[in-house]
Structure 1
């Protein structure tokens, strides 16, 4: 993020991809999982289905507000280097912890149970994780945005946008980030809702594949962040490729979704009883 593109279109594309990538944050996935399950269990299928969308709207509203605020009051202010370093390390430590916890959850979950994604921030919210009103679900998303890594990332791209075209471009970038996050978090909510409607082998296999993907990817991204920090050659070679790296992360998760569905389908077909010759 320290070398953001100077072209407005490239910056807009990058921030949109960052929003897509941010939506795959394991803490987001875990909290949306919990909200979706809670409302499904309380016979609120529509609210359950759209929990991811409502969560990302609340989260995105805070990002938008911060982007505009930074663009208006801090046009001549530069964020100290230590702020970015601290934000990077907070993100790295959370990713490593979340990756380890989610991988452990996959291996500990009984084969006859659906794997539930585990988060850290969600545990701090107490009963808000059992929100059963659209406004409350959006508030949970808004509270998630009040974290150092999210706020520092928003401030960085907002300052760049403000120096290029004023606070209005900061607002546009905030909207692009929110739309990217809405896409991934909304799809995640629909995905969990679909799994809850199935109790067969498809749901079991699909949830296990996605648990492994989320845990493994979290650790890989965290280790890459460490490599960039301690090995200048890695940081140098990755400069200017933030968009490609973000797309790579998104592509990996999307491929995991596809593989989960394919494996689950094959498992279901294998377990389907076929008529014997005598029955024919």
Structure 2
């Protein structure tokens, strides 16, 4: 016999209990294997980068201009990578893509990993060319006014801003759908299974956005996106790393000494981006374990994500417009002066505050008990022939 309260099977089962313990306990063996693979790769980056620097490069007492090329340079490259992981485009892209895939019933644990891998590939590729003696790149990389900077900044910023607007549009549609479910649930017209089905019904979004909605269906597809994001190496952290590599190449340092810098940069960035993506996944995993939690949690967090994506995308595209058209005035000067890197730190803090605040309100306000009490069980459907 089929009833209206039969749960929808749209992804990994997260209904057994609540809280972080249940979210992690529901991870399958295959997912643990993927997590172990990501951890192993990130660990390998750390081992290769630090071993090359400490055991091979440092004992040679190489010089970079008037300064020594040693552990201090490596620490600088590593911290630049960690800092780059907090760039606003990283935070917004990883969070919103994680949300999209989880709405499709998936558990995208590796979104941040693949995004950072694609992003760092650009830095590594340029540093590799520099290490092979392509000195012609050293000047353009260090020169903010070079044609290389102009073209890559134009491509990278356009891709980044446009993608964030597309993701924001997708999440606005999701937010409207969740609000409708909220109103229906508060009036007591649907049981949990109906709410579950409604929250996971993506038909309208597919009809509205078509191919755009289907463009990213698996976490690994974040690699080419990260690659495109990385083409706009106009952030201070990325340029600083490439300046280090370019200066090292110009000083005639061996290739392995130069390449340990982008490896350490990638190690620091991939570590924090992967943690970021996985943490967001577990946060959403708690919220998705019951329909009532989905409604409450997503009304808050989806609205925040839409705002973040729109703010960052707007700042990036307006800044690009002001730069390309040489626009001036009070408004355009203010837009050009916004430090988008600082926004990354503010966004991380904002997400933590929202997550903690949502948990406190959930517990103190007894949201699940009150909202669940308003929902009347659906009548059983008739026996199938």
3-state SS of 2:86 partner? helix
Offset at 1:170? 4.6
Q: Find the partner of 1:70 among 120, 129, 133.
A: 129
Alignment of 1:59-208 (within 5 A): 59=118, 62-63=121-122, 65-77=124-136, 78-79=139-140, 81-108=146-173, 109-110=175-176, 111=179, 112=181, 113=199, 129-131=216-218, 137-138=219-220, 140-147=221-228, 149-151=229-231, 153=233, 159-166=242-249, 167=255, 168-199=257-288, 200=293, 201-208=296-303
Distance 1:54 1:12 in 2: 17
Tell me how large the CA RMSD over aligned residues is: 4.5
Offset at 1:254? 1.2
Offset at 1:183? 0.8
TM-score by length of 2: 0.49
What do residues 22-75 of structure 1 show as CA deviations (whole Å, max 9, x unaligned)?
Answer: 76264444444455566xx46xxxxx3632354246436634641442222354
3-state SS of 2:287 partner? coil
TM-score by length of 1: 0.63
Distance 1:96 1:12 in 2: 27
- Equivalent residue, structure 2, for 1:258: 352
> Is contact 1:210–1:256 with CA below 8 Å preserved after alignment?
no
> Is contact 1:19–1:181 with CA below 8 Å preserved after alignment?
yes
Distance 1:144 1:203 in 2: 25
* Larger helix percent: 1
> Is contact 2:118–2:225 with CA below 8 Å preserved after alignment?
yes
Distance 1:34 1:124, change over 3 A: closer
Distance 1:98 1:130, change over 3 A: closer
Bigger CA radius of gyration: 2
Offset at 1:251? 1.7
Distance 1:266 1:84 in 2: 46
Structure 1: which 5+ residue stretches go unaligned?
Answer: 1-6, 43-47, 132-136, 275-280
User: May I ask how many residue pairs the two structures share in their alignment?
Assistant: 245
> Is contact 1:52–1:185 with CA below 8 Å preserved after alignment?
yes
Distance 1:263 1:198, change over 3 A: same
Q: Find the partner of 1:226 among 290, 297, 321.
A: 321
Distance 1:171 1:64, change over 3 A: farther
Distance 2:213 2:300 in 1: 30
- Equivalent residue, structure 1, for 2:310: 215
Offset at 1:260? 2.1
Offset at 1:76? 1.4
Offset at 1:150? 1.5
Distance 1:184 1:271, change over 3 A: same
Offset at 1:247? 4.6
